[in-house]
Amino acid sequence: MIDRKIAFRIRKTHRYLGLLIGIQFLAWTISGLYFSWTDIDEIHGDLFLNPNRKAESFQNLLPLDSIPQSIETIQLVTLDLQPYYWINKSRLYHARTGAIKEQISDSEAIRVAQKYLIDGLKVKKIELIQETDSHHEYRGGSLPAYAIHYDHPDLLVAYIDARSGMFHKVRHQSWRWFDFLWMSHTMDYQGRDDFNNLLLRVFSLFGVFTVLSGFVLWATSSPTLIKWTKKFKVKS
């Protein structure tokens, strides 16, 4: 048997730990249920993407040795049916004339999005974003970028890289709910994406201590277990 004073301290610790992490346990449970019942492809916005989009093919492109800079990475980008080289993730060259394109226009960005998204979407507004904070839905994306807002019940937004003209991602209301619940699940209230933050580790340890203290309280207060323990001592 555990001393009454020790049992009282364990009970008190268990009570306050439960009060401290109870809300977070509820957040973990609700977010876990949401994650397990949602389609991750739908969260990524695949239902808004054009399933019939075909990649263009080009001939008679400019030889790469004619590009006036060293090449480490290269991607072929299409803008208004014209081929471009996206070199070293920093500069856009026309793949036939070699002309440099510093930035695409907002109308070009809309046409890029039209190619990637399903038909019937109407543009509500478009904005050029130069920076994002750690909670922005486009955090970590290439900047500057065009945010194209559509007149849609899910508050659909498409993001197009303004320098490369590449389609990056779509965001909608279900994704935003997922992002909020992911933040509460990982307890990363600064950047939302760090699964190894200190706060999560501390609350996880508190959770283990709470469960263990509950087992100890059960062991010290269960009449059946106490009776069985006394019988065992008598026999021994």
Q: How many CB atoms lie within 10 A of CB 157?
A: 24
Same-domain status, 218 and 116:
no
User: Which residues, 6 or more positions from 23, have their beta carbon under 8 angstroms from its beta carbon?
Assistant: none
Q: How many residues does the chain have?
A: 236
The rounded distance, in Å, linking the Cα atoms of 200 and 187 is 6
Summarize pLDDT for 26-78 with one digit per residue, the tens.
Answer: 888 999 999 999 999 999 999 999 999 888 889 999 999 888 889 999 999 99
Summarize pLDDT for 134-180 with one digit per residue, the tens.
Answer: 899 999 999 999 999 999 999 999 999 999 999 999 999 999 999 99
Give counts: helices (H), strands (E), the chain: 6, 8
At 222 the pLDDT is: 62
End of a domain among 118, 145, 171? 171
Residue from 151, 148, 146 nearest 122 by CA: 151
End of a domain among 129, 148, 171? 171
Q: Tell me which range, 7-21, 29-43, 187-201, is most confidently predicted by mean pLDDT.
A: 29-43
The pLDDT mean for the chain works out to: 87
Instruction: Say which residue, 148 or 209, is predicted with more confidence.
Output: 148
Model confidence, pTM: 0.81
Domain count across the chain: 2
Percent of the chain whose pLDDT exceeds 90:
58
How far from chain centre, in Å, is Cα 221?
45
pLDDT of residue 98 exceeding 80: yes
DSSP letters, 158-188, are: EEEETTT--EEEEE-HHHHHHHHHHHHHHT-
- Expressed as residue numbers, the domain containing 131 is 46-171
Same-domain status, 36 and 51:
no
To which residue do tokens 């001393």 refer?
A: 3
Residue from 121, 208, 186 nearest 158 by CA: 121
Same-domain status, 165 and 187:
no
Same-domain status, 199 and 148:
no
**What's the number of CA atoms in the CB half-sphere (13 Å) around residue 118?**
10
End of a domain among 147, 171, 195? 171
